[in-house]
Structure 1
């Protein structure tokens, strides 16, 4: 009986591809062994032991950093900038709402009100739930709610209606407050 040839899957080739984690670790291991061999041949056992200790400490530090890459525990990583410009403020909020609710507020909704609501929701989702609205819109949609999501969805260029109904604005602000 003939043996079937092993079928290589995409995951098998992806694991061995340059740039994969397995490939990177293999290259680093070969480099570490070469450095140890070089130290042992040139400077002796004491230098090789010191090199091994330094490589072990470096490997542990990098492993800890990689394992906690998504955690918000140490404060050592550069903070993520959630907002593109300045923090959303409520100084002109009364006029922004009035202009957006006007009959001819379609342009104002598209250029001012909707981006302002998107920034407020993005800041609240990131601050309270650790969800990046622009990178993970599915989780953001689940938190905001399917009924309100189309009004702030960053993946669509326009709101579902040309003007913003007052009931929808109230619902958006209530949801923003409860998030």
Structure 2
């Protein structure tokens, strides 16, 4: 690449000396065309037939060994932006965890026994999760802070589990 640049600048100087202003314009055109060619080759990994551009500022896609973890982390990070992002992401996961924990630990069906589930879960967590209500689509209303989400997770974790129920009733 540097040889191509040296040659182009050499032609620019020679054209300017031999032809004056017209030569200078021709030489600048050659230099510009050379720089564009170099840029094009850099963006395509130096493969002239490659039509897939490689933008240097574009983030590389990293293969993650635990893609589900990445999705959960993404849902968690979006949960505070709006109630829509919370409802369509993390809330669904938390409701599923709540259903499993209630069913396995206490034999409570969340859909059929919401009053018992509400009493076990607590008002704060219930008001955040809003079981049985549709997901909201309002991006104007802010989501939940990490502390509130942590409280909800703690409330779900504090529910009786199968292992603790088996330990209490052998």
Interval of TM-score (by shorter of Structure 1 and Structure 2): 0.3 to 0.5
- TM-score using structure 1 length: 0.44
**Taking CA–CA contacts closer than 8 Å with sequence separation of 6 or more, which of the two structures ends up with the larger relative contact order?**
2
TM-score, L = length of structure 2 = 0.46
Higher Cα radius of gyration: 2
